[in-house]
């Protein structure tokens, strides 16, 4: 059973219709770029709303508990929330970089080998910069170096 955090993060990237290519359509046409721009902007907006919710939650819930255990529990909860927001802040930065790639017409091609990343992969991971083969090789190398 998925945790609430996993459900919430998977919901952030849901809510779009998969792109339907037309026969003979060129890869990363204007329509495809518009599709991914919409996905990324929606994702960014949802992340920013989550940041605002966290700020309001922390302001509303901040209390000076006399019991040290209660105080420690609240500090731990806030610490976990701030760590999650920091990851989301980094993701927002990556979304902005990806939106710039779209604007520069450099989106959708592998940084390493230059082949098409693929529409379905980009829908699953809109900020992807490597094709599946190069990403797999990078992960294998990372495992070998980390061992």
Q: Check whether 79 is labelled as a binding-site residue.
A: no
Contact 112, 119 (CB under 8 A): no
Between CA 115 and CA 105 the distance in angstroms is 14
Q: Check whether 110 is labelled as a binding-site residue.
A: yes
Between CA 89 and CA 72 the distance in angstroms is 25
The two tokens of residue 113 are 């080998």
Q: Check whether 131 is labelled as a binding-site residue.
A: yes
> DSSP of 46-63, one letter per residue?
HHHHHHHHHHHHHHHH--
The tokens 């379905």 sit on which residue?
120
* Residues contributing to the annotated binding site: 110, 113, 131, 134
* Residues contributing to the annotated binding site for Zn(2+): 110, 113, 131, 134
């Amino acid at each position: 059973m998925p945790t609430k955090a996993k459900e919430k993060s998977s919901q952030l990237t849901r809510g779009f219709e998969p792109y339907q290519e037309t026969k003979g359509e060129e890869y990363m046409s204007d329509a495809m770029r518009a599709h991914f721009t919409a996905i990324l902007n929606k994702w960014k907006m949802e992340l920013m709303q989550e940041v605002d919710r966290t700020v309001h939650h922390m302001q509303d819930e901040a209390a000076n508990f006399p019991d040290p255990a209660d105080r420690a529990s609240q500090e731990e909860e806030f610490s976990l929330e701030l760590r999650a927001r920091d990851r989301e802040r980094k993701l927002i930065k990556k979304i902005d970089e990806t939106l710039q790639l779209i604007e520069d017409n450099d989106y959708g091609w592998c940084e390493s080998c230059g082949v098409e990343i693929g529409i379905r992969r980009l829908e699953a991971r809109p900020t992807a910069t490597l094709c599946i083969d190069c990403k797999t090789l990078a992960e294998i190398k990372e495992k070998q170096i980390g061992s």
